[in-house]
Amino acid sequence: MLSSRAVLLAASRRPALRRALVGLPVTRRVVDRFVAGETLEDALTAVRRLAADGVAVTLDHLGEAVTDPATARRSRDACLAALEGLAPLRLGPAAELSVKLSAFGQALPGGEALSLELVRPVVAAATGLGTTVTLDMEQSATVDATLRTLAALRCDFPGTGAVLQAALFRTADDVAALAVPGARVRLVKGAYDEPPSVAHVDRDDVDAAYARCLGVLMRGGGYPMVGSHDPRMVALARRLAAEYGRAADSWEVQMLYGIRSAEQVRLAAAGVRVRAYVPYGADWYGYLVRRLAERPANLRFFLRSLVPG
């Protein structure tokens, strides 16, 4: 039987639903909870606010699955503009970028080379500002290409980070390969609907896999980025950091903008490095649907906002 998550993610790919949802005025309220705004200025306002609370950021200019090279080039330009906008804030590594290679044309014919060509100047500009770029991870079919792009970028820009999804069976090997000095890895549970041939489908199995991968990363020599709102995973990360004698600046917790915001500030005040993933831009649809699909409470929040009053 299909889960409600699978149904929602599948339905989200239907253009008619997309048009209906995007057109609803109430959708706006829900978008505002999860997205910092449509413009770079909106995003920079959120960055300043979070920085004042001791929370670092990774900015995400929303967009994915572009269908032509011109749009892919616009993704590069938007990222370069974001870095220009961040420069006067002088936040250094406390403000980095996250990018989805599908927004840089990865899925187009010859897209692996195109996305590398377009993302390279973004990573170079980030390095020039003393900060980094993290490659988000998308559907399982893109993992090999994304990891090849990561390897190519790390030859020149070793601080480039990647995301690994605990739900995928292959991730056990991928974390082991990247738990090495200099590697920055954000471990997440995985937001995409994957077939049982490649991924755990049961939530408990995903959680167990997350805990195992976290152990490998925290024990290893890299820089683990604990991408989760799950209090159990954050507590486990803190226990492992203590057990392996990790300095406070050798790992961090990452959470999404608008989710457990008070906890982000509380953890930062307690001496944990915390980074918020701050999405902004007009192309928020895919991002929003993944947030609704991953947690019944998020979907209820959306459905409640459809009821007037």
CB of 18 to ligand FDA, least distance (A): 20
Is residue 85 packed enough to be buried (19+ CB in 10 Å), middle (13-18) or exposed (0-12)? Answer: middle
Q: Is 186 a catalytic residue?
A: yes
Which residue, 83 or 187, has its beta carbon nearer to ligand FDA? 187
Q: Is 115 annotated as a binding-site member? A: no
Cα distances (angstroms) measured from residue 281 to each of 40, 57, 140, 155, 230: 7, 16, 25, 31, 27
Q: CB neighbours of 251 closer than 8 A, spacing ≥ 6? A: 218, 223, 224, 225, 226, 237, 241, 273
Q: Is 229 annotated as a binding-site member? A: yes
Which residue, 19 or 212, has its beta carbon nearer to ligand FDA? 212
Q: Is 20 annotated as a binding-site member? A: no
Which residue, 124 or 259, has its beta carbon nearer to ligand FDA? 259
**Nearest-CA neighbor of 287 among 195, 151, 191?**
191
Cβ proximity of 223 and 184 under 8 Å: yes
CB of 190 to ligand FDA, least distance (A): 5
CB of 163 to ligand FDA, least distance (A): 4
Q: Is 225 annotated as a binding-site member? A: no
CB of 278 to ligand FDA, least distance (A): 10
Is residue 159 packed enough to be buried (19+ CB in 10 Å), middle (13-18) or exposed (0-12)? Answer: buried
Which residue, 65 or 69, has its beta carbon nearer to ligand FDA? 65
Q: Is 228 annotated as a binding-site member? A: yes
Binding residues (CB under 6 A) for ligand FDA: these are: 136-137, 163, 165, 186, 188-192, 227-231, 254-256, 259-260, 277, 294-295
Q: Is 136 a catalytic residue?
A: yes
Residues within the annotated binding site for FAD?
A: 137, 165, 189-191, 228-229
